[in-house]
């Protein structure tokens, strides 16, 4: 018996990184999982690598677009008959700069990628979860959804906004058997970290290696976490055992953030 037997999950940005590790953990626990990404080719490769047969399905879509988010949730229901778990995981930010030098485009892109995508997917998923009076929503925030840092305000602001949306939605649907939480990892060496980290580090006046070391040193464990550390927390939040946890912003940062 798996902790998620019979459940249907949808994970935005699930072809690699934290989303992929979480998809694998959900399948291991008995769930059917829809993963998403922009590229059909990368989606097909991910499905092949996972080797989970009909337990995993890929739906292409760009989470920065509302119609793609809505089609992803509807596609999950069309494929597996319902949606029990949403992990709004995709996100990131590029073109970092101090607030005084920020472009509208950089801020808008980060809000679309992180905040609007989370809102669009949540709203669509709740449309199915509220009538069935059960559900689990897990939103991807970050340690930067809890603390301010210079030069990366586009990311800090978007992840804080996700935490606000999470807390309010949790209050709205708590009596309906639906939990809404966010996960707040510290730095993890994934593809997006390798792609966007160097520019973020430069904007913060340090090297990429220096940035990773700062993350490790400001934690209690003095090292970075791995994608599996986040995936296993998502399993708990998605399972029956997580029924009493809602409106929480769960830190998975080795003790870096103050709360
Ligand atoms: P990753 O690059 O390893 O994986 C990102 C996944 O999202 C991939 O499957 C990619 O194809 C998909 N994706 C990216 N943009 C997309 C878009 N516009 N539409 C659809 N799919 C898209 O990244 P990751 O490190 O696993 O990051 C996942 C989430 O975790 C992000 O929201 C990120 O902000 C957050 N996070 C990451 C870290 C870290 O240090 N890696 C720390 C805290 C929070």
Active site annotation includes 155: yes
Exposure string for 135-172, b = 16+ CB within 10 A, e = fewer: bbbbbbbbbbbbbeeebbbbbbbbbbbbbebbbebbee
Q: Which atom of ligand 1 is nearest to the CA of 159?
A: 34
Query: Mean pLDDT, to the nearest integer, of 85-96?
Result: 97
Among 11, 12, 13, which is best to mutate for testing ligand 1, by the most ligand atoms less than 8 A from CB? 13
Cα angle value 73/75/76 (rounded, 5°) = 65
Secondary structure class of 31 (helix, strand, coil)? coil
Among 15, 16, 17, which is best to mutate for testing ligand 1, by the most ligand atoms less than 8 A from CB? 17
Q: What is the pLDDT of residue 240?
A: 98
Please, where are the H alpha helices in the chain?
17-28, 40-50, 66-80, 104-110, 117-132, 153-173, 191-203, 208-217, 227-238
Q: How far apart are CA 21 and CA 115, in angstroms?
A: 22
CATH topology of domain 8-252: Rossmann fold (3.40.50)
Q: Of 54, 57, 58, whose CA–CA distance to 37 is shortest?
A: 58
Q: What is the dihedral of CA 133, 167, 190, 54, to 10 degrees?
A: 0
Q: What is the pLDDT of residue 1?
A: 87
Give the Å distance between the CA of 190 and the centre of ligand 1. 8
For 238-256, write each residue's pLDDT tens digit. 999 999 999 999 999 999 9
Q: Which atom of ligand 1 is nearest to the CA of 46?
A: 9
> What is the reported pTM?
0.98
Supply 51's token pair.
């080797």
Q: What is the pLDDT of residue 121?
A: 99
Query: Mean pLDDT, to the nearest integer, of 145-155?
Result: 96
Q: Are 140 and 89 in contact (CB under 8 A)?
A: yes
Give the Å distance between the CA of 76 and the centre of ligand 1. 20
Q: How far apart are CA 140 and CA 180, in angstroms?
A: 11
Q: How far apart are CA 85 and CA 240, in angstroms?
A: 12
Q: Are 199 and 157 in contact (CB under 8 A)?
A: no
Secondary structure class of 14 (helix, strand, coil)? coil
For 167-222, write each residue's pLDDT tens digit. 999 999 999 999 999 999 999 999 989 998 999 899 989 999 999 999 999 999 99
For 6-64, write each residue's pLDDT tens digit. 999 999 999 999 999 999 999 999 999 999 999 999 999 999 999 999 999 999 999 99
Instruction: Using alpha carbons, list the distances in angstroms from residue 121 to 12, 87, 95, 170.
Output: 9, 9, 25, 15
């Amino acid at each position: 018996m798996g902790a998620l037997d019979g459940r249907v999950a949808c994970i935005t940005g699930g072809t690699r990184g934290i989303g992929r590790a979480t998809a694998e953990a959900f399948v291991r626990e008995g769930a059917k999982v829809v993963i998403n990404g922009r590229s059909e080719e990368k989606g097909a490769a991910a499905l092949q690598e996972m080797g989970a047969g009909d337990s995993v399905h890929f739906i292409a879509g760009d989470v920065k677009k509302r119609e793609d988010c809505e089609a992803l949730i509807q596609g999950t229901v069309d494929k597996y008959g319902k949606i029990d778990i949403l992990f709004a995981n995709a996100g990131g930010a590029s073109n970092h700069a101090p607030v005084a030098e920020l472009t509208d485009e950089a801020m808008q892109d980060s809000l679309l990628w992180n905040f609007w995508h989370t809102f669009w997917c949540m709203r669509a998923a709740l449309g199915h979860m509220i009538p069935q009076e059960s559900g689990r929503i897990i939103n991807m925030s970050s340690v930067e959804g809890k603390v301010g840092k210079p030069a990366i305000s586009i990311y800090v602001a978007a992840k804080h906004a996700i935490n606000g949306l999470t807390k309010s939605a949790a209050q709205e649907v708590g009596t309906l058997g639906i939990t809404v939480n966010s996960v707040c990892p510290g730095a993890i060496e994934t593809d997006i970290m390798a792609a966007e980290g160097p520019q973020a580090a430069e904007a913060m006046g340090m090297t990429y290696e220096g940035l990773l070391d700062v993350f490790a040193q400001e934690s209690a464990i003095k090292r970075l976490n791995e994608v599996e550390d986040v995936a296993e927390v998502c399993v708990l939040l998605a399972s029956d055992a997580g029924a009493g946890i809602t409106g929480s912003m769960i830190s998975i940062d080795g003790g870096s953030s103050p709360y």
